[in-house]
Amino acid sequence: MTVGEGPGKQYGMCLNSDILRSGAFVFQTGNSFIEGNQATFNNEQGAQAIEFWKSFKDEGTGALYGDLGRGWCGEAFAGRTTAMAIEGGWIVPFLADPANGATDMNYTAIPLPTPEGGQQASWLFTNAFAANANSEYPMAAAAAVLYLAGPENQEALIPSGLAQPTWKALADNQYYTDNPVAQTLVEAGNYGYLADSVLGGPVKKGDVISRLNEAMERIFLDTQPIPEALDQAAEEVNEILAR
């Protein structure tokens, strides 16, 4: 998967230690992150999922985007320093922007390969319209948001690649038939997981992600074995969940 040497070296996979990438592999094992207000990601299946992601670095078939001098994996992929990247739909308009030097790149998108005995899984991310609660005309502001989030306006946004529609009927839009990359992204809505729902709720999610990412950093720096790092993170997450 990795070819070349020196400045022209191309790695197979761009790696990101953020749990909002590697966590998808945890879900693929059928595992959860939290059950009954207790961390569950530190069991054997969770450790195996993280071990798989780190194996790209250990075997030299992947590299962290920072080690490649890039700001994120989309940049590494656009610069041809990696052959693959695991990213969300935001990479599509990035690659289409001439300023990023990838408009001549032929690429596609596929769901994460499902491991033997596992299940299809991915992360889901969200965008939103918002109105100021202190608006002089709150009812009109709320009506504007409802209008903007309606099917007609969401359909008009589909070709932009900025977000997939929340209206299920729009998944049948001809645009997806004609664009396999976009179709892969919209179909992920059928099997993806929303961080707000599975990482302790919207109020605690940020702290939970921070502890998980601190563990992932220790793992990728080889300062702590995977099981030990996940156990420590689980203790810290349980403290957060108990607040």
pLDDT in tens, 72-124: 999 999 999 999 999 999 999 999 999 999 999 999 999 999 998 999 999 99
CATH number for position 201: 3.40.190.10
Residue 1 scores a pLDDT above 80: no
Contacts of 187 (CB under 8 A, 6+ apart): 111, 171
Q: Is residue 182 included in any domain, yes or no?
A: no
Residue 209 scores a pLDDT above 80: yes
- For position 205, what pLDDT does the model report? 96
Residue 101 corresponds to which tokens in the numbers above?
Answer: 């030097």
Look-up of token digits 């396999």: 180
219: containing domain:
6-121+191-241
The mean-pLDDT minimum among 1-10, 15-24, 160-169 falls in 1-10
Q: Is residue 116 included in any domain, yes or no?
A: yes
**What gap in Å lies between CA 59 and CA 242, rounded to an integer?**
39
Q: Is residue 44 included in any domain, yes or no?
A: yes
CA angle 196, 35, 53 (to 5 degrees): 70
The answer to whether the CB of 40 falls within 8 A of the CB of 33 is yes
Backbone angles phi, psi at 104, to 5 degrees: -95, 5
Domain total of the chain: 1
Instruction: Say if strands 192-194 and 62-64 run parallel, antiparallel, or are unpaired.
Output: unpaired
The answer to whether the CB of 209 falls within 8 A of the CB of 199 is yes
CB atoms closer than 10 angstroms to residue 193: 19
Q: Is residue 174 included in any domain, yes or no?
A: no
**What gap in Å lies between CA 74 and CA 99, rounded to an integer?**
13
Q: Is residue 136 included in any domain, yes or no?
A: no
Residue 133 scores a pLDDT above 80: yes
Percent of the chain as helix, strand, coil, to the nearest 5: 50, 10, 40
Q: Is residue 179 included in any domain, yes or no?
A: no
241 pLDDT tier (thresholds 50, 70, 90): very high
Q: Is residue 92 included in any domain, yes or no?
A: yes
Mean pLDDT value of segment 63-80 = 97
Q: Is residue 129 included in any domain, yes or no?
A: no
